Structure 1
Amino acid sequence: MTTITKRQATPEELASCQSWELWESGDTDRFVYQYDQDVQFIVQSGEAVINSATNPPVAIVPGTHVTIRKGVDGDWAISSAIVNRYQYL
């Protein structure tokens, strides 16, 4: 079962997501998070690969729209500091 999905954000989504919450990875090169609710986000800047036991690795870059479902344990390998706009579903 795929619990992380990604696609290119539309121009409308890129504009409307600016009102969503902001998350920045800072200087870390690894971030581990257990998702306790569904979330969607659009990458504003940076690059990373999200690894999980339930999904193949998901590479993200600016403009990527990602949905992560509740129950995913995400292990982020960050190659360039990430800035996301996110909202819980």
Structure 2
Amino acid sequence: MSEKMIEIHTVSAEEQAACQSWELWESGEISEFAYDYDQDVQFIVQQGGAVIHTQFGDKVAIAPGNRVVIRAGVSGRWDITAPVVNRYEYL
């Protein structure tokens, strides 16, 4: 079940351009936070990096150019390795 809870793909130039109208999120100086996803969300990493740990034991590394989909029901802990900037939208 957990393998489909977080999906990660490399974005195309078209996807990168299309996401610029999505909401902007910046991690700032925090190094770690927890978040419970109550709805599906997708985001495209613009800058920075992190490792998302789930309650299923998954560790998903994200970096610029990744499109990430996190499914409802995931409880995640983000370990920020470099300040993250992403564009996101709820699905």
TM-score class, shorter: over 0.9
For residue 16 of structure 1, what is the aligned residue in structure 2? 18
Note if 1:60 corresponds to 2:62: yes
For residue 89 of structure 2, what is the aligned residue in structure 1? 87
For residue 76 of structure 2, what is the aligned residue in structure 1? 74
Residue correspondence of structure 1 range 27-66 to structure 2 within 5 A: 27-54=29-56, 56-66=58-68
Instruction: Tell me the percent identity.
Output: 56
Structure 2 letter corresponding to 1:68? I
Unaligned runs of 5+ in 1: none
**Hey, what's the Cα distance between the residues in 2 that align with 1:31 and 1:84?**
16
CA RMSD between the two structures: 0.9
Q: Deviation per CA, 1:17-61, whole angstroms, max 9, x where unpaired?
A: 000000000100001100010000000000100000235211011
Normalising by structure 2, what TM-score?
A: 0.94
- Equivalent residues, number: 89
Unaligned runs of 5+ in 2: none
Runs of 4+ in 1 over 4 A off after TM superposition: none
